[in-house]
Amino acid sequence: MKEEKTKQIKKRIKEEIKNTISSIKEYKLLTKPITPENAIGRVSRMDAINNKSVIEAALRKAEEKLKQLEFIKTQVDNDDFGICIKCYKEIPIARILIVPHSRYCVNCA
C-alpha cells in the first residue's frame, strides 16, 4: 500500500515539476522588456507594465514552487514523508496530490 502511494505521489510531483517549468518558460517570455516600437498608446503601455509586474510576481512564485518540488522529490522515500512539519500529523494523500510541494497539513498551511 505504502509503495503504491509513493509511486502515485512521485508521478504527481514529476507532473507538477513539468507544469511548473513550462509556466516559468511562459512567464519569462511574457516579461521580456516592452520595446517602444510595439507600443501602443499610453494607456495600453501602462497596462502592459502592470501586467508585467503581475507576471514577474507569478514567475517568482513558480520558481519558488519548483525549488520546493525538487526538494520534495528527494524526500518521498523517507519514512517521515507525508508528516506535517508543524504538527507532526499525517497529511492525507488527497492533499499531497493536490499540493505536492506543501509540507504542511491543511490546518497548519
- Tell me: does residue 99 bind Zn ion (CB under 5 A): no
Match 499540493 to its residue by C-alpha cell.
99
Cβ atoms of residues 84 and 108 within 8 Å: yes
Buried/exposed code over 74-86 (b: 16+ C-beta within 10 A; e: otherwise): eebeeeebbebee
Please choose, out of 17-25, 38-46, 59-67, 76-84, the segment that lies near Zn ion by the rule CB under 5 A. 76-84
Tally the C-alpha atoms within 13 A of residue 51's C-alpha that lie toward its C-beta: 14
Binding mask 23-62 for Zn ion (x = CB under 5 A): ----------------------------------------
In whole angstroms, the minimum distance from the beta carbon of 84 to Zn ion comes to 3
Using the minimum distance from each CB to Zn ion, give the nearer residue, 57 or 109.
109
Residues that bind Zn ion (CB under 5 A): 84, 86-87, 105, 108
